[in-house]
Structure 1
Amino acid sequence: MPRRTPKKLNSPESNLIWSPDTELVGLVFELLSEADVSIYPQYTIGLHAWFLDQVRSFSPELSAYLHDGESEKPFTISALDGEMVSSGREVQLKANTTYYWYVTALSSRVVQWLLQWVQNLPTQLNLRDAPLQIRSCQIAHPATTYAQLLNSEHGETVTLKFTSPTSFRRKGHHFPLPMPTNVFHSYLRRWNDFSGIPVEQEAFLFWVDENVLITRHQLTSAKVLAGKKGAVTGFTGAIEFGLTKEASKQPDFCKLFYALGKLAPYCGTGHKTTFGLGQTRLGWSSQVAPEVPDVQSLLARRVEELTDIFKAQRKRTGGDRAEETATKWATILARREMGESLQVVAQDLEMPYETVKTYVKLARRALKNPVSVPPSPTS
């Protein structure tokens, strides 16, 4: 196990202290790659697993809650922010280059665990075969509470920038546009789960649909990998929301509108926020978000292509199970085609190795013989 970080990381300059009543906080880690190293395209799975392993090491009870608790996860993590290039079938991190990694907490329980953890951080973040040195940890989003967000001062608009691909689920499909109801529904779900100040969802979203305007936007789209399985088309860029004159007739909803905007950097936007998607910041930026490395886009396109093929073959059976199976087959086969071992894929997907081995055989057989698709074993 790596040595623990010297206390100098937690010097007064780092300000890694917050009050016991804190409910929200965001941290940024400065990581250093000491050599040129290659990581697999879906490396955010590794970041996710490393973080949860840290939780398990310090608090098995909290770890069980994060795995099995409520539907909304009380934390987010980002992908690595820094210079990356495609290297064959992998993504390469450059020697002596700094990368930044963001972690946020959305509930007092996770916030207080973070406070204990940062006092005794490991010196390395082990991303499979790519050890990254933890050089520093700082507060990125101030420690606060939901009540403070609700009662804080605000401007006339809510302006957000999406720094990593962002997408929503709508009618069983991915929806890569920041429509007001989708955006604020995303934030309201987290608010209602963790704030202790619940709001009637249907009434608020009706108000959003009637009164929230898009006053300007600058968006682009990209196809990306989505957590452990599948691919999505997501958007990055910036958007500004304003209110109609009639919105002020419901001042409590106006107040919540601005509070949810301030919640965005902590909770992220859309889905798969614990795997790096939906990273959100306040303010406008015309700067283009970093491009997804070619190998990640290539794998995402291949996963989507295979998913469509397997779903079409199974359309006569339909249902969520058929779609889930098609996505699993596509993810496993695409990653195997990219040269990854089935042992690693099984570990990432938290599936038995023999099941993954069977799935890749069935997927290959289905590509060769698309008319007859054999039944899938239970994973």
Structure 2
Amino acid sequence: METAADMPSRWRIATPGIDPTRVRLEHLHAVVSGWFDTDGTHRAPAKPYTISPPTSDAAGCGFEITLLDDTLTNRLLTRAAPGVRLRLGAQHTRLTTGAEQLATTTWTHLAGSDSGANAWCLRFVTPTTFRRGNAFTPWPAPNPVLGSLRAAWRRFAPPDLPEIVLDLSTDPVWVTDIDGANEILRINNLTISGFVGRIRYTCDNPEIRATVDRLIRLAPYAGIGAHTTRGLGQVHPEPTWRQPSRP
């Protein structure tokens, strides 16, 4: 039987009248952390949610939130209910609709299903960066990508699921195709370089491939790398592709 905490999910919050170009990532983080970071969790090393920067679409302006622990859902529905006022920097809005669920899955599904793939394409929708001491690197090499997802799985998956075992010391996964670039941004007075674009990863070890497949499916809900609660590291799996060969 699935429990509430077994259901990672993705949501969109519509923010009418907000100009997304005037919203800094710190503004959005201040709002959402106020919803979820309670009971001393503000300084926790990892959070069970991620944030996407605000964007405009046919329905107006809004931003997305993913939850790795569905016990946060009621809090989200309360804090982002119709009529609630939000402040994003110098801009103010009153929500006219509640949080809209865009997608959901279960930890049991993530742990149990296997697509049989040995290659995966990830689109890095927002800049993705990885800490190296006091510095950052934009290169989404297989080990830091899978290490980030493995850490999220181990921290937030229900304890009754089998443990994720993946030895990255042997470099079992490698990059076969790249289509992207680095993007420079400022967060909390830090200059950060992040990767945006697509990368194709491959693994031909059948004992490892299924584990990698599970972690890749977790990526849209967990995010990858540093500052995922400030809009970075948002990824979408896509059909695999190869760069066209030059004539």
TM range (shorter): 0.7 to 0.9
Secondary structure of 1:219's counterpart equals: strand
Q: How far is 1:133 from its partner?
A: 4.3
Return the match for 1:74 from 38, 43, 48.
48
The 3 A distance-change label for structure 1 pair 78 and 21 is closer
Secondary structure of 2:140's counterpart equals: coil
Give the 4+ runs in structure 1 shifted more than 6 A. Answer: none
What percent of counterpart residues are identical? 24
Secondary structure of 2:62's counterpart equals: strand
Return the match for 1:238 from 183, 189, 198.
198
Q: Which protein shows a greater Rg?
A: 1
Return the match for 1:204 from 164, 167, 173.
167
Q: How far is 1:37 from its partner?
A: 9.0
Secondary structure of 2:185's counterpart equals: strand
In the TM superposition, what are the counterparts of 1:132-281 in structure 2 within 5 Å?
A: 132-136=93-97, 137-142=99-104, 144-156=105-117, 157-195=119-157, 196=159, 197=161, 198-200=163-165, 204-207=167-170, 209=171, 211-226=172-187, 228-244=188-204, 247-248=205-206, 250=207, 253-281=208-236
> For residues 209 and 83 of structure 2, what CA distance do their matches in structure 1 show?
43
Secondary structure of 1:67's counterpart equals: coil
Higher relative CO (Cα under 8 Å, sequence separation at least 6) belongs to 2
Which residue number in structure 2 is paired with residue 52 of structure 1?
33
Q: How far is 1:237 from its partner?
A: 0.4
**TM-score normalised according to structure 2 size:** 0.82
CA RMSD of aligned residues (A): 2.9
The 3 A distance-change label for structure 1 pair 68 and 178 is closer
The 3 A distance-change label for structure 1 pair 285 and 81 is farther
Secondary structure of 2:167's counterpart equals: helix
Which residue number in structure 1 is paired with residue 6 of structure 2?
22
AA paired with 2:197?
G
Q: Is the 8 A contact 2:200 2:240 kept in 1?
A: no
> For residues 262 and 27 of structure 1, what CA distance do their matches in structure 2 show?
17
Q: How far is 1:54 from its partner?
A: 3.2
AA paired with 1:39?
R
> For residues 125 and 235 of structure 1, what CA distance do their matches in structure 2 show?
30
Which structure features the higher share of strand residues?
A: 2
AA paired with 1:76?
T
For these two proteins, the number of residue pairs brought into alignment is 235
Gaps of 5+ in 2: 242-247
Q: How far is 1:189 from its partner?
A: 0.9
Which residue number in structure 2 is paired with residue 87 of structure 1?
none
Q: How far is 1:128 from its partner?
A: 3.1
String of CA shifts for 1:148-203, please: whole Å, max 9, x gaps.
11212425222211111111113542111110001101111111111134335xx5
